[in-house]
Amino acid sequence: MTDPQSFPSPEVQTAWSGRFAEPVSDLVKRYTASVFFDQRMWRQDIRGSLAHARMLARQGIIAAADLAAIERGMATIVGEIEGGTFNWNLDDEDVHLNIEKRLTALVGDAGKRLHTGRSRNDQVATDIRLWLRDTIDVIDPLLRNLQEALLTAAETQADTPMPGFTHLQVAQPVTFGHHLLAYVEMLGRDRGRFADCRVRLNRLPLGAAALAGTTFPIDREFVARELGFDGICENSLDAVSDRDFAIEFCSAGALAMTHLSRFSEELILWMSPRVGFIDLADRFCTGSSIMPQKKNPDVPELARGKTGRVFGHLMGLLTLMKGQPLAYNKDNQEDKEPLFDTADTLVDSLRIFADMVPGIRVKPEAMAAALRQGHATATDLADYLVKKGLPFRDAHEAVARAVRACEDKACDLADLPLAELRAFSALIGEDVFAVLTVAGSLAARDHVGGTAPSQVRAAIDRARKHL
């Protein structure tokens, strides 16, 4: 469907126009319609309708022949939508009425019987839950793919020293592999959050009808099983009005985008010629139309930027639900575009990152050079003195004085000769140079969660087993 403004507006009979003395204006029609965005739930809508129709036939509410006609009509509609010949019509408001109307045109009265014991209120709630469940099942493997790409890169870089930063100041040596593993952890939590959201959303609202339930002898458990739900929504009012799952989804999406934006920021920083730790493959960058020398990290910059719209969607949905009285209100139609855009933004970002990570070219010399400039092993020297019996606070003080002396001489701690080092503590001996080296510093952090290359490799193995 293209521009909603371009829809013709013949005098049509809508699904509810019997009650009204005059038609809505074109503007109101366009304002209230959702078909130009909710049509993307058509598969879920048909799946839900077929399960409902099967239940109606099983319960003797509609005839077996009606069910057969509905199934035949829906198969035709699937073909039309997939083939691009389905005529989405603004006059029929939303995806539900568009499909129902076409069904009736195809199979007659059986199509009109489909809506027995159902309302669009429980229908749309069911469709969104099905759509989000399908979407989470797309997102989880994408998160896993990105974790795998990071693990592969981390394995290659398990021994590559780089400065670890706090306050964006050189703090202590870490390996680049260890740094990348931090993102594997974040993405693992994201997967947990989406899985958790899936648990709560996987309940069937259908059967709540408009808000109070229905007078027909329906079998909700049967429909739930047909649609792969773990159970039913217990309360009909809650069933049609609850959008917690949508907020949870956007919240999980906002956090996942937060992680991608942090990673983006680091990639941008690392790729800046001032830092020069990495280079990104050309296909993720663009040039400048005026400055011939430029290679800009557009993809991470855009991911960082797109995080904003996802935050906005979360805030939009929270505000949409705040203060809404029970049960269904038309406000709820506004839940879809934020959800769709959150999913689209995250899916695209995850795909592009999984492709981008293997294209990170690491420049170990630049990382090593940066490590030589920030007294990155100062903590190691303090720890060394503690092991020789000095209380930690005194050791900290002695090393701080040594660092100040280095700053005056514009050299690094590891560059001071032994005699000068001993001026800050007589406990310092020849063995100090083993701890002042980057390799010694890394190897010494040899425990679970530490940056020693052997620990990084063990962490990669554990993470692979969990994926």
Residue type, 54: R
Nearest to ligand ARG of 104, 121 (CB atom):
121
* Cα separation, 157 vs 341, whole angstroms: 35
Q: Which residues bind ligand ARG (CB under 6 A)?
A: 34, 38, 94, 120-121, 124, 328, 330, 332-333
Structure tokens at 454: 């052997």
* Minimum distance of ligand ARG from residue 333's CB (angstroms): 4
Q: Residue 278's beta-bridge partner residues?
A: 362
Active site (annotated) includes residue 167 = yes
* Minimum distance of ligand ARG from residue 318's CB (angstroms): 18
Nearest to ligand ARG of 229, 328 (CB atom):
328
Nearest to ligand ARG of 244, 446 (CB atom):
244
Burial class (CB in 10 A: 0-12, 13-18, 19+), 271: buried
* Minimum distance of ligand ARG from residue 343's CB (angstroms): 16
Buried b (16+ CB within 10 A) or exposed e, 411-435: ebbbebeeeebeebbebbeeebeeb
Nearest to ligand ARG of 66, 122 (CB atom):
122
- Cis peptide bond N-terminal to 327, omega within 30: yes
Q: Residue 41's beta-bridge partner residues?
A: none
Catalytic residue among 17, 25, 272, 288: 288
Catalytic residue among 167, 289, 447, 466: 167
Nearest to ligand ARG of 63, 212 (CB atom):
212
* Minimum distance of ligand ARG from residue 336's CB (angstroms): 6
Q: How many CB atoms lie within 10 A of CB 308?
A: 11
Q: Which residues, including other chains, have CB under 8 Å from residue 23's CB and lie 6 or more apart?
A: 11, 17
Of 267, 257, 361, 342, the closest CA to residue 303 belongs to 257
* Minimum distance of ligand ARG from residue 125's CB (angstroms): 8
Active site (annotated) includes residue 288 = yes
Sign of CA dihedral 214, 31, 344, 319: negative
* Minimum distance of ligand ARG from residue 35's CB (angstroms): 8
Nearest to ligand ARG of 39, 286 (CB atom):
39
HSE-CB of 100 using CA atoms within 13 angstroms: 24
Q: Which residues are catalytic?
A: 167, 288
